[in-house]
Amino acid sequence: MKIIADENIPCVQQAFASLGEVSLLPGRGLQAEQVRDADILLVRSVTRVDAALLEGSSVRFVGSATIGFDHVDRDYLQQQQIGFATAPGSNATSAAEYVVSALMVLSEQQGFELAGKTVGIIGCGNVGSRVRQKLSALGMQCQVNDPPLQAGGGHDDFVSLDEVLQADIVTVHVPLTRDGRYPTFHLVNGAFLERLQPGAIFINTSRGSVADNRALEALLASRDDVSVVLDVWEGEPSISTSLLQQVDLGTPHIAGYSYDGKLRGTEMIYRAASEYFSQPVCWQVADVLQRAATMDMRSRETGNDLAVVRAIVLCAYDVRQDDARLRAMLSLPAAERASAFDRLRKDYPVRREFTEATVQLDEPAGAIGELLSGLGFAVE
């Protein structure tokens, strides 16, 4: 079989070698003539998959190594009897760790403690549930708003959007949808933002168009008490540079870009394709990944417990490095910034998850060990 794959899907050639010949191409500019004689198409969120791309092609299966699917016309695929799979939850841990890192940075910069702060989590699926678990482990009070999950029953601790907007921190983890009972396109609009509390922190790691970026610019122009963390932007890769200069932390859509998460995404769509074509599974992430290096923090712990945990978290992943890389784009001519945004994603450095790191502490680890374990670190 002939397989066309986004060049940014890690290990895709190794994984899919048992199914056919893999050709790598840039995902953003993929054209119909490039996929016409392909049997399998493998993409990420930057490729729009619809009739314009696939009409008249021999594609029988589409895999998207992402958790979202707003870039795919699923109705068209179903009509054409083309198989489809995504990678739900593959980068959920990574995205949750991004939120933890961002809050650690802001708490240090602004001089507040995370314990006792209230967090409004909008969307409690794969990512939101992990955010809730990690922030609860830090002693934060989490409130969840998720109307689709609430409508499905099984939980009794959901709160209204009004209640969520009373929180000290509001973080959004929803898919981008424009139709249906609960559309999320511009869910975060001017009226939403006006209700943020004094000194609030707003974080968006979901999709750029979940938040009206013009409304965010207006908010930040009129209020200097609100902090904003954006990993996703409207119009990617041609993002608003004026908004970038206003936010506290801005990154190039990499919250879920841990190496572990990306490889899980590859494995999930590979397994789905193998099952679709009734072929044996010959590759798995465990063949590639090794545990991350051990962090020896013995005799280094100074300060209160949360300060020590902050130092360890930022040693594992410091969001400020990604913020600095994106802001460096501002020095480029305007015509070069979009391609620079994409390069930051394509050439993203290897980043391992907390769950793959072991932290060595002096005995007894005590509260610090419990906090680290709650965030996913292995503690010795």
Q: How far is 333 from 274, CA to CA, in rounded Å?
A: 45
Mean pLDDT confidence for 286-314: 78
**Active site annotation includes 253:** yes
In this prediction, residue 69 has a pLDDT band, given cuts at 50, 70 and 90, of: confident
Mean pLDDT confidence for 205-211: 97
Query: What average pLDDT does the chain have?
Result: 94
Phi/psi for 284 (5° steps) reads -150, 155
Phi/psi for 50 (5° steps) reads -155, -170
Least confident of 235-239, 255-259, 354-358: 354-358
Decide if pLDDT at 299 tops 80: no
Decide if pLDDT at 291 tops 80: no
**Which of 344, 340, 342 has its CA nearest to residue 330?**
340
**Active site annotation includes 207:** yes
Coil, helix or strand at residue 63: strand
pLDDT at site 300: 61
Cα end-to-end span (Å), the chain: 48
Q: How far is 181 from 318, CA to CA, in rounded Å?
A: 38
Mean pLDDT confidence for 166-184: 95
Q: How far is 113 from 256, CA to CA, in rounded Å?
A: 25
Least confident of 160-169, 231-240, 351-360: 351-360
In this prediction, residue 303 has a pLDDT band, given cuts at 50, 70 and 90, of: low
Active-site position among 97, 234, 236, 353: 236
Decide if pLDDT at 263 tops 80: yes
pLDDT at site 172: 98
Q: In what order do the strands lie in the sheet with 83-85?
A: 21-25, 2-6, 40-43, 61-64, 83-85
Helices marked H in 81-154 — which ranges? 92-110, 126-137, 147-152
Decide if pLDDT at 270 tops 80: yes
Q: Which residue has the tokens 């994984």?
A: 15
pLDDT at site 130: 97
Asked if 176 and 68 count as a contact pair (C-beta separation under 8 A), the reply is yes
pLDDT at site 18: 95
- β-partners of residue 378 are 358
* Domains within the chain, CATH numbers bracketed: 2-86+258-287 (3.40.50.720), 92-250 (3.40.50.720), 294-379 (3.30.1370.170)
What's the predicted TM-score (pTM) here?
Answer: 0.90
Q: How far is 128 from 113, CA to CA, in rounded Å?
A: 21
Active-site position among 28, 130, 173, 207: 207
pLDDT digits 0-9 by tens, 143-157: 999 999 998 876 678
User: In Å, how far are 146, 172, 229, 340, 346 from 123, measured between CA atoms?
Assistant: 5, 6, 17, 31, 28
Decide if pLDDT at 185 tops 60: yes
Q: How far is 332 from 244, CA to CA, in rounded Å?
A: 14
How large is the C-alpha radius of gyration of the chain?
A: 21
pLDDT at site 365: 64
Mean pLDDT confidence for 132-148: 96
pLDDT at site 70: 86
Decide if pLDDT at 35 tops 70: yes
Decide if pLDDT at 302 tops 60: no
Q: How far is 160 from 165, CA to CA, in rounded Å?
A: 9
The tokens for 370 are: 């419990």
Peptide bond into 183 cis (omega under 30): no
Q: How far is 171 from 204, CA to CA, in rounded Å?
A: 6
**Which of 163, 13, 19 has its CA nearest to residue 83?**
19
pLDDT at site 153: 79
Query: What is the share, in percent, of the chain residues with pLDDT greater than 70?
Result: 96
The tokens for 9 are: 């899907």
**Active site annotation includes 264:** no
Coil, helix or strand at residue 252: coil
Peptide bond into 237 cis (omega under 30): yes
Active-site position among 44, 130, 253, 264: 253
